Amino acid sequence: MNKQRRLVFVSLVLAGLAAGAAALAYQALGQRETAPPVSYTLLDGAKATSAQWQGKVMLVNFWATSCTTCMHEMPQIISTYEKYKARGFDTLGVAMSYDPPAFVANYVQTRKLPFGVAIDNTGEIARSFGSVQLTPTTFVINKRGEIVKRYVGEPDFAALHGLVEQLLAEG
């Protein structure tokens, strides 16, 4: 490699490192995406909005009764909710638009899901969260309404619990 090419190569590497450092610095500033404003109806008929999440740590789980991974993770979603609900943690299950409402209602009733469940009939909630299509997809939202983590697939629940603990401890 001649001297000029080497100089160009080193310059490009340094520019790439600088860009990467700038991106990390931006993330370190805590710039997070705000959770979208959504309105929904729970299976029990209660109307709700994401404005009611303010001051809580929220887990929003997009799922379907036809999703094997969703069914596998649901007991852990329930146990996470039960473990932290008294400390300002809440959970919303969002059944996908293609899931038959009777299947969702039957699953919620027979498994006695202890948290709110909405059926996203129109797909609007999924679109609002960045066109969620894969299930399960789970969002963790802090007390300020910022999306802190997005899981596609089953989360590592030990890591999720550590994150929830951290977020609940924030002022």
Closest CA to 37 of 141, 160, 162: 141
State whether the Cα torsion 97-99-100-106 is positive or negative: negative
Spatial distance between the Cα atoms of 79 and 84, rounded to a whole number of angstroms: 9
Domain limits at 85?
39-169
pTM: 0.82
Q: Which tens digit of pLDDT belongs to each residue from 118-163?
A: 999 999 999 999 999 999 999 999 999 999 999 999 999 999 999 9
* 114 token code pair: 């202890």
What are the φ and ψ backbone dihedral angles of 152, each rounded to 5 degrees? Answer: -110, 120
Query: Is there a single domain that holds both residue 21 and residue 49?
Result: no
Query: Is there a single domain that holds both residue 7 and residue 91?
Result: no
Query: Is there a single domain that holds both residue 9 and residue 59?
Result: no
* 42 token code pair: 């729970």
- Confidence class of residue 80 from pLDDT cuts 50, 70 and 90? very high
Query: Is there a single domain that holds both residue 76 and residue 19?
Result: no
Contact 132, 62 (CB under 8 A): yes
